Amino acid sequence: MRVNFGNGSCIFIAYANGGIEMLDLSDEQFDYLTRKAVLDSAIKYHKERELFTYKQHGKVGYINREAQLAIPPKFDDARDFYDGLAVAEINGKYGYIDRDGNIVVEPKFDYASNFGGGLAQVKINGKNGFIDKNGNFVLEPEFDTIYSCKNTDDEQLYVVSLDDKWGIMNGDFEYIVRPTFLDLSGFKEGYASAQSADNELFGMVNCKGEFVLKPQYRKITNFYKQNGNLVIFAVTVDNEKIKIDINGNIIP
């Protein structure tokens, strides 16, 4: 328990044998012990990390591996560093800071992801896009939703929605399929469930957006690979729940 007295603090330590000890600490000593406790807890799980978030008086900053303040607590919230930058919140908006605590991308976004590969997904005025580390848009914020996923060659794909239609982009933000599907899941094992705009039924598409299982189901609820084969859980137009393979054959 901590008790404040003037310019210092007293900490009462209760031992299992019933004994109580009082430590008289300055504010600086107490703050150091607090930072050290935060560091000891965090460093066990992040042994390679150099900076750790630290909250004091309702604001967030960073401490280094010696439990010293590296960036004073001045943000409403802040995250760990990725790709050299960290998300920081000021007055309900998100931007990015460098390891010296300098703001490099102004806090103006309603949502901001961690950077990876020099890019980050952001949301502004209800629309999603991507920026580079200078804050410049490499994909204009015009999409309702963006999902990041990979194809079977571990290449980047994006599933995007625009005006209630879904499409697919490659890692260079070029359309593979323009938004035409009524619904589209994220890709797994090289496939995604998709709802056709022609008959409003669901099938499975490959990474090129081609139907490999024609749209004939009321819903596809899940799919995964088992023993090298795709297992699909679907609901027929008669509301029968079935398990099928990629060719539509029933799996017992």
CA separation for the pair 68, 39 (Å, rounded): 10
**Per-residue pLDDT at 5:** 42
Are the C-beta atoms of residues 52 and 61 closer than 8 Å to each other?
no
Can you tell me which residue has the tokens 């619904």?
183
CA separation for the pair 154, 57 (Å, rounded): 44
pLDDT in tens, the chain (252 residues): 444 444 445 554 444 555 554 455 566 766 777 788 878 888 877 878 899 999 999 999 999 999 999 999 999 999 999 999 999 999 999 999 999 999 999 999 999 999 999 999 999 999 999 999 999 999 999 999 999 998 888 899 999 999 999 999 999 999 999 999 999 999 998 999 999 999 999 999 999 999 999 999 999 999 998 888 899 999 999 999 999 999 999 998
Domain borders along the chain are: 145-252
Sign of CA dihedral 91, 97, 103, 109: negative
Q: How far is CA 208 from the centre of its chain?
A: 25
| DSSP reduced 3-state for 54 | strand
DSSP state, 18?
A: S
For the chain, the helix, strand and coil percentages under 3-state DSSP, each to the nearest 5: 5, 55, 35
| DSSP reduced 3-state for 23 | strand
**Per-residue pLDDT at 121:** 98
pTM of the model: 0.84
CA separation for the pair 229, 44 (Å, rounded): 40
Strand order across the 127-131 sheet: 111-112, 120-124, 127-131, 137-143
CA separation for the pair 207, 92 (Å, rounded): 37
